Amino acid sequence: MTRLGIMMLEPDMTHPFYTGMAKTSETHDVEVLLFSPLQIHPHTEWIQGYRYCTDTGSWKEDIFTIPEYIYDRTFYQDDFTSKQAKAIAQWLKNRDDLCFLGYGLPNKWTIYRQLMKHDKVAPYLPETTLIESIPETVSRIKREKNVIIKPFDGAHGIAVYEIQAQNENMMVRTTKKLEMVEKKMDEETLGRWLESLTRKKSFILQNKLENRDEQNRPFDLRMLLQKNAKDKWVVTCKGFRVGNQDSLLTNLSAGAAAIPYEEWKKNQKHYNWKYIESELRDIVRTLPEILEEEFAPLFEIGLDIIIGRDSSVWILDMNSKPGHKMLQLLTLEEIERLHSLPLRYCKALQRKMPATGGDST
């Protein structure tokens, strides 16, 4: 039987998407395992993880060898444990006897630099710079009036700041523990703060794109792209994320709401939807292939799209390990179909690979 391991930093047996995958696995002749890279014994290469038991409909602790196919859902922080897990995950990716459904994307700055070489996607990318010189950064903020800075390898809206130039002062806004925090600084204080911030990790800077509705709520379009069993990219879920009034983030984990695509579209008649949807089709048709050409094979991509007041379309972010909270917009039947997609794609990869052995314990 084909073995597919879901790899997480901290295995979550309660996650509805992974359990949903496991429930339908028997139908596809796939055994689903759940493990952390930190659970791999360095000498024996056996794993103390979890195996889904279709008889009882639950996860059970078990010991098994490294599964031949891996669905990588690890998210790393800056701590030692994450760095250790990341090194182990890279070791697994370098092995010829293992196959990942997707091999991930690099940091935002590397992605931006490579995509800017491609005429088909470059026009959709907001101008982005790596913060290196603090004086130059402060000068740009004063010139542009409103910018966003964020970690070049960040996710989930963590450490995202909006900086507005207001006469002689700078207003810095961010979200902490779901609350908006604001602080006014003069130019010198801002410089010292940026120096301290960028000493810890690298940040990128972008002009602030206007993405607020008539109630002053930030919004964006989240599109989930995944490969089907025929190795073709399809849009499996799309909807708008709408943040709280006067807030900065549209992340669902930061309290934003998910609204069905057609419902939001129906209530926003002032946009040129014919043009917007033509642009979106072009992005879906070209971007995934370019990303794989530049980096590595992928299985899924979460695209965050901002639609300007003039109906302009901008690719704000792309993520090779998108969350699954937007699936709440789908019907139960649609969700169950998505549960089977990683399994179907795993079997498609298996048909391309030479036969491999596996344990059946």
Q: Is the pTM of this model over 0.75?
A: yes
For 20-72, the DSSP string reads HHHHTTGGGTEEEEEE-GGGB-TTT-EEEEEEEETTTTEEEEEEEEPPSEEEE
Percent helix, strand and coil across the chain, each to the nearest 5: 35, 30, 35
Query: Mean pLDDT, 10 residues at a time, over the chain (361 residues)?
Result: 96 96 94 97 96 94 98 91 95 96 96 97 96 95 94 84 91 86 94 94 93 90 95 96 89 88 93 97 98 97 95 96 93 95 95 58 41
pLDDT at 346: 96
- The whole-number pLDDT of residue 177 equals 74
Distance of alpha carbon 324 from the chain centroid: 10
pLDDT at 77: 84
* Sign of the dihedral defined by the CA atoms of residues 55, 59, 62, 63, in that order: positive
* Secondary structure element (H or E) that encloses residue 302, with its range: strand 300-307
Instruction: Extract the runs of DSSP E, i.e. beta strands, from 54-160.
Output: 58-65, 69-72, 99-100, 128-130, 146-151
- The answer to whether 206 touches 111, Cβ cutoff 8 Å, is no
**Which 3 state secondary structure label does DSSP give 208?**
coil
Q: Give the phi and the psi of residue 342 in degrees, each rounded to 5.
A: -60, -35
Query: Which of 218, 197, 213 is closest to 149 using CA atoms?
Result: 197
Phi, psi of 306 (to 5 degrees): -105, 135
What is the rounded CA–CA span in Å between residue 12 and residue 75?
Answer: 13
**Residue 360 pLDDT:** 40
pLDDT at 354: 62
pLDDT of residue 352: 83
Identify the structural domains of the chain with CATH numbers, from first to last.
Answer: 2-102+342-352 (3.40.50.20), 108-124+213-320 (3.30.470.20), 128-207 (no CATH)
